[in-house]
Amino acid sequence: MELIKQSFSIKDLENLSGIKAHTIRMWEKRYNILTPQRTKTNIRMYDSSCLQKILNISFLNENGYKISRISKLTEEEISGMVHRITSSISEENRAINQFKMAMMNFDENLFNQTYNSLLKKKSFKAIFNDIFLPLLNEVGLLWQTDTIKPIHEHYIVDLIKQKLYLNIADIKASKEATKEDIFILFLPENEIHDLSILYIQYLLLHSGYQTIFLGPSLPLSNMKFLLERYSNVKFLSYCTIAPLNIEDFIQEFQEIICEHRPYELNLFGHKTNNLKEMPLPENIKVHQELDNFIKTL
């Protein structure tokens, strides 16, 4: 099994850098910017140094530098020029490229160096919204185009989760809850994608709410034990791949959890798209935008 991708096709470079394959070919021919190896069937293949270089070239090109000028620079000069560009948008693009390189090479040191550098100027919330979310969107596209393998996605998601756990722990240790309501956060049975709901927990804690995080793949019947202890609770779930039928899930929530009173259930995620045009009970709240949800609290 291929664990660390060491060589890349020109299509991989296009997907990772955003520069069209035919443009890369033209730049190679005219400016000799990359030196790919060739397979026996004469197909271009690139190593990780070529990937890093094309990411840097893409970054400079997006920031107004013409390829004719870039091509005259050494790799060290290109890297130096990238580091000297410090406008906020450029910094975000550079960080995303660095995180992609960390993912491709399973390089935790590069991930942490990039993250710590960002943390000197940005809050964790800004890093997550402005950099991690666009990065994850790109990672999803790279996975769909077979540029990366599931192992790469799992690796970068786990590193981001580590930062989430640290920031959640910091808030719990340093900030007392100011709101009476307690949010019960859980994922339905067979739902294992917990990154988004962890970030929602961070935002709720940041806004002064108490939270109880129950994790992935939880049967609704388990939560009845919480109702014996707490009355001021609201429920929140994120549905990406489960439940199979979200209408049945809502009905089950109403029957099991809301037997004696209509507890509020806040729903997020791809599966909720099926509910947009459907009439729902008043206690069921479907949210498309996370920011709008936080603002209404």
Tokens of 130: 């402005």
The Cα–Cα gap between 44 and 29 comes to 13
What was the pLDDT predicted at 88? 53
49 and 121 co-located in one domain: no
The Cα–Cα gap between 62 and 51 comes to 16
129 and 204 co-located in one domain: no
Tokens of 59: 């970054």
DSSP H stretches of helix in the chain: 10-17, 21-31, 48-62, 67-70, 75-84, 88-105, 108-119, 124-127, 133-144, 150-174, 195-206, 224-227, 246-256, 290-296
| Residue that finishes a domain, picked among 174, 208, 231 | 174
Average pLDDT of the chain?
90
Q: Does the structure show a pLDDT above 80 at 85?
A: no
Segment among 40-49, 114-123, 183-192, 202-211 with least mean pLDDT: 40-49
pLDDT in tens, 163-200: 999 999 999 999 899 999 999 999 999 999 999 999 99
User: Which one is predicted more confidently, 272 or 87?
Assistant: 272
Taking a C-beta distance cutoff of 8 angstroms, is the pair 14, 34 a contact? no
What was the pLDDT predicted at 3? 43
* CATH code for position 33: 1.10.1660.10
227 and 272 co-located in one domain: yes
The Cα–Cα gap between 124 and 82 comes to 23
pLDDT in tens, 107-121: 999 999 999 999 999
| Residue that finishes a domain, picked among 174, 207, 230 | 174
25 and 96 co-located in one domain: no
125 and 64 co-located in one domain: no
- Looking at the chain, the whole-number percentage of residues with pLDDT higher than 70 is 96
* CATH code for position 160: 1.10.1240.10
**Mean pLDDT confidence for 11-31:** 90
Q: Which of 47-51, 77-81, 171-175 has the highest mean pLDDT?
A: 171-175
Burial 241-257 (b: 16+ CB within 10 A, else e): ebbeebeebbebbbeeb
47 and 103 co-located in one domain: no
What was the pLDDT predicted at 31? 92
* CATH code for position 280: 3.40.50.280
Q: Does the structure show a pLDDT above 80 at 6?
A: no
163 and 196 co-located in one domain: no
Helix (H, G, I), strand (E, B) or coil at 211: strand
Which residue segment(s) compose the domain that 128 sits in?
88-174
User: Apex CA 129: angle with CA 127 and CA 135, to 5°?
Assistant: 80
Helix (H, G, I), strand (E, B) or coil at 210: strand
What was the pLDDT predicted at 2? 41
Rounded alpha-carbon distances, angstroms, from residue 12 to 70, 92, 127, 198, 211: 22, 22, 26, 31, 42
How many structural domains is the chain composed of?
A: 3
The Cα–Cα gap between 251 and 249 comes to 5
Rounded alpha-carbon distances, angstroms, from residue 277 to 41, 73, 244: 53, 56, 18
| Residue that finishes a domain, picked among 85, 113, 130 | 85
81 and 96 co-located in one domain: no
Give CA 184 to chain center in angstroms: 23
**Mean pLDDT confidence for 247-252:** 95
Q: Does the structure show a pLDDT above 60 at 89?
A: no
| Distance linking the first and last C-alpha atoms of the chain | 47
Q: Residue 185 — φ and ψ, nearest 5°? A: -105, 130
The Cα–Cα gap between 264 and 282 comes to 8
Q: Does the structure show a pLDDT above 70 at 49?
A: yes
pLDDT confidence of 5, banded at 50, 70, 90? Answer: low
268 and 191 co-located in one domain: yes
The Cα–Cα gap between 272 and 126 comes to 26
The pTM for the full model equals: 0.75
211 and 165 co-located in one domain: no
Q: Does the structure show a pLDDT above 80 at 145?
A: no
Tokens of 163: 């930062």
